[in-house]
Amino acid sequence: METAVSRHFGEIALAPAGQRSIPGRYEHDGVPINLDLSIGEHDRLDEACLHKVDYRLRFLPELIDSARERIAQDLRDEDSAAVEYRHFHCQNLQGGKVREVFGVESPDEVDDDRFVQALRLTKVGIYPGQPERYFVLGFTLGEGFTDEVLLAAADEDGVVDDEVGWVSPAHPP
């Protein structure tokens, strides 16, 4: 079977079709980020597709910044998933936990900027067969604090979608 080597996914068997998920790693600001290359049932993973994925990942830092900007914009809309996520996770914080997660003493000090800064990118899903939803970035407030994730999606050109979602691992998108 023919193989190709990816900077982020290592050696990968190229296959004409068949659904599969290939784990990978990316380091951003010294923090490892899990990658998940998702190949659909009818998608073809060839060397050109893999090269495109590696090329697009060169721009992941800019995409992360754009996703954070989208989340910050959504915090101005009281009906957004970002506002609901923030309210749900911040309503019962006590001193030690608010300090640990946000670096402040009181939940009242958690403004929009501090909230967005506290979000940690935990995983990037890459869907080469879906150009309109090529990247899906999952942000959380930290392991041990919550397993629920804010999701921001972007197309293959890195344009972040205008809708941020909130999911629980028990109910993935």
List, for residues 150-161, the tens digit of each pLDDT value: 999 999 999 998
Taking only the tens place, the pLDDT of each residue in 8-48 is 999 998 876 678 899 999 999 899 999 999 998 888 888 99
* pTM for the structure as a whole: 0.89
Radius of gyration of the chain (CA): 17
Stronger pLDDT, 126 or 106, i.e. the higher one: 126
Measuring CA to CA, how many Å separate 89 from each of 77, 84, 159? 17, 8, 28
| Dist. CA 53–CA 30, nearest whole Å | 21
CA-angle at 37, arms to 159 and 137, nearest 5°: 40
How distant is the alpha carbon of residue 129 from its chain centre? Answer: 18
pLDDT tens sequence across 81-119: 999 999 888 877 776 788 888 888 888 888 999 999 999
Q: Which of 56-70, 83-97, 111-125, 134-148 has the weakest average pLDDT?
A: 83-97
